């Protein structure tokens, strides 16, 4: 009796032909090519079907016969002849030599392929590996991402970095090379910034027109031409504006950029980029409201001692006063009252002071026909001129007569009288070939010639700086008599006090530095009282008297100026080979020099307090 099928008809039709298994089903059953369910079904049927069972046995017999036949056919040739094996080995060797050893990369690749091949690693492992890779990429990104820092932290670290770089050197001069791009105009600017004495000189590789364009853009957006890429200036500038949003991003592998957008003003965004290694500011990008951009990129940055730069790099042109520069910029006409002029003059002096242009630079401020303040002078180059012009032109009632050295030189043929009151000039009238008075002491203290030269240069430089400060103070004292101070408003009076105080503080530092510098050599020189000499006479004439000898700060400043000038000349006489003195004068000059330095320090301390009095007049 025929059994009922257990499988659905559709599946069963593949195995059965009518009521019997097909030949293919029987063969596949014998070959193990049926599924488990098919095998069960076929076996179940065969148990009940004699026909199918006999057909299966016939196929098995046929396979057996075929196998026996094939074996019989091949048996005469098996096993294969042994001698062919050695031939094969030789051929493999030859082929190996022909192909050469695979490269290490190929070996590694093959090993990797074998290790990850489908035969070695399952599908689950593949999926797990891919998932691991997918998760590891963001994990690696976050692990290597720099620590988050705030805007203030970046600025603070950048400022600390700059301060730290300056502390390594006694009298640091920052030599900075910048590439400044404004629109399509690009120039390279090299700056020398004397940090201690607030002096800056720079030059660019651009023609005057190009530089003027860049400087005009700086001026337009109230940027400090003298302090590009300076973190302190940037923080000050930033504090004066309303910050809309701060964002710190890593722009390169070792760069962090503080992207700051501003709600108001011409500048829409200002980005400051620092190195992650030391937080040194290396780039500034400004995006303006009109979508134009200003880029400042640092090409090099170096802090060197003042002594290592050319001694005259901060000195002024010798042509001041030698020319009558044509008037430029902003003519003004009507007569003004004294108070307005006095206020304008203070404003001009403050501006010059901020630009470091009042330390002996060939700039003179004066009142002209009671109508305006005349600022005239000669500067090193067009960049400096533009800097001064762009700053000074905003001061009301001010007229500018500024020339560059080149411009002045072209007009100087008919002019010969230098400005006798200028300290820079006075320091250059020298060089008669006599040895310095302390030549022996110098040779003993500094056997090495280079060391000796460096020492002398540094001492002379300090003396000259002090002289420049005193000269600036003297100018202020001359320009601001009591009646003019009285008519100043409170703000301008305070500005004037600050100006005086700045110079006095700086002069005190210079004097003390000069004392220390000279202490190395003076302590070894003779301490014998000296006879009267020309320099000694000057010293005595200029020696600062007792601090309470005069209540007027102007008189004191005049004396300080005289004393400083005398000290300057004494230093030159002792250390420079330019002054023809009797060698016997050395001891006297030295004694008076030391005394003058001490008294000058005391006087400066006193005058510092004096100019801070609220009732300055």
Partner 1 sequence: MYVQLETVYSFAHANASSDGIPGISFRGADDIKSERRTDDSGQRVVRLYDTLRPSLYRYLINSGISPQDVEEVVQESFLRLYRHIQSGGGDENLRAWVYQVAHNLSCNLHKSRRRLIDAPPEMWEHLSHSTPDSTPGPEELLLEKERYSRIRDGLSKLTQLQRDCLNLRLEGFRYREISEILNVSTSTVAGSLRNAMSRLVKGCV
Alpha carbon of 485 to those of 327, 340, 355: distances in Å? 28, 12, 23
| Closer CB to partner 1, 55 or 371, in the complex | 55
- In three state form, how does the secondary structure of 235-267 look? HHHHHCCCEEEEEEEEEECCEEEEEEEECCCCE
Q: Which stretch binds partner 1 (CB under 8 A): 53-61, 166-174, 405-413, 579-587?
A: 53-61
Cα–chain center distance at 476: 36
Q: Per the structure block, which two tokens stand in for 452?
A: 């000796």
Residue 93 as a binder of partner 1 (CB under 8 A): the answer is yes
Q: Which stretch binds partner 1 (CB under 8 A): 26-34, 334-342, 372-380, 550-558?
A: 26-34
| Closer CB to partner 1, 50 or 77, in the complex | 77
Q: Which stretch binds partner 1 (CB under 8 A): 96-104, 147-155, 294-302, 455-463?
A: 96-104
| Closer CB to partner 1, 28 or 280, in the complex | 28
- In three state form, how does the secondary structure of 58-102 look? HHHHHHHHHHHHHHHHHHHHCCCCCHHHHHHHHHHHHHHHHHCCC
Q: Is 507 left (phi over 0), alpha (psi -120 to 50) or beta?
A: alpha
Residue 588: strand, helix, or coil: helix
> Which residue bears the tokens 């070695």?
120
Neighbours of 342 (CB within 10 A): 26
Binding residues with partner 1: total (CB under 8 A): 53
d(CA 518, CA 505): 20
Residue 43 as a binder of partner 1 (CB under 8 A): the answer is no
| Closer CB to partner 1, 63 or 134, in the complex | 63
List the beta bridge partners of residue 181.
186, 295
| Closer CB to partner 1, 29 or 557, in the complex | 29
Q: Which stretch binds partner 1 (CB under 8 A): 69-77, 144-152, 257-265, 600-608?
A: 69-77
Residue 103 as a binder of partner 1 (CB under 8 A): the answer is no
Residue 35 as a binder of partner 1 (CB under 8 A): the answer is no
Residue 498: strand, helix, or coil: helix
Which of 92, 139, 453, 546: binder of partner 1 (CB under 8 A)?
92
d(CA 5, CA 571): 126
Residue 116 as a binder of partner 1 (CB under 8 A): the answer is no
Which of 37, 114, 236, 612: binder of partner 1 (CB under 8 A)?
114
Q: Which stretch binds partner 1 (CB under 8 A): 19-27, 134-142, 328-336, 364-372?
A: 19-27
Residue 27 as a binder of partner 1 (CB under 8 A): the answer is yes
d(CA 180, CA 176): 12
Contact predicate 339/490, CB 8 Å: no
Residue 141 as a binder of partner 1 (CB under 8 A): the answer is no
Q: Which stretch binds partner 1 (CB under 8 A): 86-94, 213-221, 374-382, 421-429?
A: 86-94
Q: Taking the chain, what is the end-to-end CA distance rounded to the nearest angstrom?
A: 138
Which of 48, 96, 139, 243: binder of partner 1 (CB under 8 A)?
96
Please state the closest distance from residue 276 (CB atom) to partner 1, in A. Answer: 42
Residue 122 as a binder of partner 1 (CB under 8 A): the answer is no
Residue 81 as a binder of partner 1 (CB under 8 A): the answer is yes
d(CA 356, CA 350): 10
Which of 17, 40, 89, 170: binder of partner 1 (CB under 8 A)?
89
Residue 77 as a binder of partner 1 (CB under 8 A): the answer is yes
Which of 73, 145, 147, 420: binder of partner 1 (CB under 8 A)?
73
Residue 115 as a binder of partner 1 (CB under 8 A): the answer is no
| Closer CB to partner 1, 12 or 232, in the complex | 12
Buried b (16+ CB within 10 A) or exposed e, 89-120: eeeeeeeeeeeeeeeeeeeeeeeeeeeeeeee
Residue 125 as a binder of partner 1 (CB under 8 A): the answer is no
Cα–chain center distance at 516: 33
Contact predicate 53/46, CB 8 Å: yes
Judged by the rule CB under 8 A, the positions of this chain that interact with partner 1 are 22-24, 27-28, 31-33, 55, 58-59, 61-63, 65-82, 84-85, 87-89, 91-93, 95-96, 99, 101-102, 106, 109-110, 113-114, 117-119
């Amino acid at each position: 009796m025929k059994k009922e099928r257990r499988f659905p008809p559709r599946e069963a039709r593949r195995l059965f032909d009518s009521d019997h298994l097909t030949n293919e089903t029987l063969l596949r059953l014998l070959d193990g090519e049926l599924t488990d369910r098919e095998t069960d079904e076929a076996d179940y049927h065969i148990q009940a079907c004699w026909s199918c069972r006999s057909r299966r046995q016939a196929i098995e017999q046929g396979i057996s016969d075929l196998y026996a036949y094939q074996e019989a056919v091949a048996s005469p040739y098996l096993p294969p002849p042994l001698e062919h094996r050695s031939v094969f080995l030789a051929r493999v060797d030859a082929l190996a030599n022909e192909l050469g050893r695979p490269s290490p990369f190929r070996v590694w690749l093959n090993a990797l392929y074998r290790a990850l091949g489908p035969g070695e690693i399952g599908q689950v492992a593949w999926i797990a590996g891919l998932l691991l890779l997918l998760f590891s990429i963001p994990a690696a990104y976050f692990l290597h991402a720099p620590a988050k820092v705030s805007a203030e932290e970046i600025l603070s670290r950048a400022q600390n970095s700059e301060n730290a770089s300056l502390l390594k050197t006694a009298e640091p001069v920052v030599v900075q090379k910048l590439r400044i791009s404004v629109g399509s105009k690009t120039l390279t600017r090299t700056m020398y910034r004397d940090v201690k004495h607030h002096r800056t000189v720079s030059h660019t590789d651009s023609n005057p027109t190009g530089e003027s364009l860049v400087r005009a853009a700086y001026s337009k957006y109230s940027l400090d031409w003298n302090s590009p890429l300076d973190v302190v200036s940037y923080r000050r500038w930033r504090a004066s504006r309303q910050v809309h949003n701060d964002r710190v991003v890593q722009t390169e592998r070792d760069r962090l950029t503080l992207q700051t957008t501003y709600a108001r003003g011409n500048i829409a965004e200002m980005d400051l980029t620092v190195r992650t290694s030391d937080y040194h500011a290396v780039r500034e990008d400004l995006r303006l409201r009109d979508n134009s951009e200003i880029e400042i990129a640092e090409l090099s940055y170096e802090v060197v001692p003042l002594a290592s730069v050319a001694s005259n790099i901060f000195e002024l042109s010798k042509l001041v006063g030698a020319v009558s520069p044509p008037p430029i910029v902003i003519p003004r006409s009507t007569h003004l009252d004294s108070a307005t002029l006095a206020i304008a003059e203070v404003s001009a002096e403050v501006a010059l002071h901020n630009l470091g242009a009042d330390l002996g630079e060939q700039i003179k401020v004066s009142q002209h026909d009671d109508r305006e303040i005349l600022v005239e002078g000669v500067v090193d180059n067009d960049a400096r001129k533009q800097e001064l012009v762009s700053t000074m032109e905003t001061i009301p009632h001010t007229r500018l007569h500024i020339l560059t050295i080149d411009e002045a030189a072209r007009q100087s043929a008919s002019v010969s009288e230098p400005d006798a009151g200028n300290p820079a000039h006075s320091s250059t009238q020298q060089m008669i070939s006599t040895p310095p008075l302390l030549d022996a002491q110098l040779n003993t203290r500094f056997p090495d010639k280079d060391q000796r030269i460096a020492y002398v240069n540094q001492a002379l430089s300090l003396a000259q700086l002090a002289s420049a400060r005193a000269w600036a103070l003297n100018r202020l004292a001359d320009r601001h008599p009591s009646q003019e101070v009285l008519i100043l408003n409170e703000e301008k009076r305070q500005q004037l006090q600050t100006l005086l105080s700045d110079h006095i503080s700086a002069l005190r530092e210079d004097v003390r530095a000069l004392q220390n510098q000279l202490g190395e050599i003076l302590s070894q020189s003779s301490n014998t009282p000296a006879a009267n000499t020309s320099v000694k006479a000057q010293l005595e004439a200029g020696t600062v008297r007792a601090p309470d000898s005069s209540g007027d700060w102007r008189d004191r400043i005049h004396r300080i100026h005289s004393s400083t000038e005398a000290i300057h000349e004494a230093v030159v006489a002792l250390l420079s080979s330019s002054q023809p003195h009797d060698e016997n004068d050395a001891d006297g000059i030295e004694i008076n020099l030391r005394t003058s330095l001490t008294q000058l320090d005391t006087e400066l301390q006193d005058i510092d307090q004096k100019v801070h009095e609220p009732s300055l007049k």
